[in-house]
């Protein structure tokens, strides 16, 4: 018998590692903790801030498209989402005229976003001119901020578009 084999047999039981029963007990405890954590996690609360940031990015993207295309675009909220369409004609992107849904060049699909997990959106239609500025339907630069509210359960998030500059900010509760 070699030296290592004698040492393995001479070790006390507490130095040999975990038993199968001990491993099973640890896994059961971990499973119970995971189940409790999952039942307390609120998906609506977790996604509403994300969807507020998504709306802000979509407004900025719409501003960039309006400037790139030299056309006035319209962002229209509709309870469970929002869409972007042409507000004026005359450019190749809006050749079909006002009301034509915009095809997002980033995805190649219509520029429509559906909110999920019961998050709702309220706010006015937003016109963005060829300089990316928020304007009225008549084309006059707005003098007050445009505010959108995203509601998820008892909490609300606000997305604010500043007048003149069109700077977009998100406020959380």
What does pLDDT average to over the chain? 84
Residue 119 Cα distances to 14, 80, 107, 116, 149, angstroms? 54, 7, 23, 6, 10
Looking at the domain assignment, is residue 53 inside a domain?
Answer: yes
Q: Does residue 125 carry a pLDDT above 90?
A: yes
What is the three-class DSSP state of 38? helix
Q: CATH number for the domain including 108?
A: 3.55.40.10
pTM of the complete model: 0.72
Task: Give the pLDDT confidence of 19-33 residue by residue, as tens digits.
Answer: 888 888 988 999 888
Looking at the domain assignment, is residue 39 inside a domain?
Answer: no
Measured from the Cβ of residue 150, the count of other Cβ atoms closer than 10 Å reads 25
Tally: H helices and E strands in the chain: 3, 9
Neighbour order of strands in the sheet with 112-114: 112-114, 81-86, 73-77, 126-128, 134-135
Looking at the domain assignment, is residue 129 inside a domain?
Answer: yes
pLDDT top residue among 113 and 91: 113
State how far the Cα of 155 lies from the Cα of 76, in Å rounded to an integer. 22
Looking at the domain assignment, is residue 17 inside a domain?
Answer: no
Full domain range(s) for residue 160: 46-171
Q: If you average pLDDT over residues 46-63, what whole number do you get?
A: 88
Which tokens sit at 52?
């507020």
Looking at the domain assignment, is residue 14 inside a domain?
Answer: no
Measured from the Cβ of residue 65, the count of other Cβ atoms closer than 10 Å reads 20
């Amino acid at each position: 018998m070699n030296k290592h084999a004698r040492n393995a047999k001479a070790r006390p039981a507490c130095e040999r590692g975990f038993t199968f029963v001990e491993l099973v007990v640890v896994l059961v405890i971990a499973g119970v903790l995971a189940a409790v954590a999952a039942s307390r996690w609120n998906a609506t609360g977790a996604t509403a801030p994300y969807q507020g940031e998504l709306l802000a990015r979509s407004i900025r993207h719409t501003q960039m498209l309006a400037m790139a295309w030299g056309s006035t675009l319209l962002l229209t909220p509709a309870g469970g989402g929002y869409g972007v369409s042409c507000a004026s004609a005359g450019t190749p992107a809006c050749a079909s005229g006002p009301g034509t849904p915009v095809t997002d060049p980033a995805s190649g699909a219509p520029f429509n976003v559906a909110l999920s997990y019961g998050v709702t959106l309220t706010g006015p239609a937003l016109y963005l001119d060829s300089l990316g500025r928020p304007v009225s339907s008549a084309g006059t630069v707005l003098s007050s901020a445009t505010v959108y509210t995203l509601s998820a359960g008892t909490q609300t998030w606000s997305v604010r578009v500043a007048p003149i500059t069109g700077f977009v900010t998100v406020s959380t509760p």
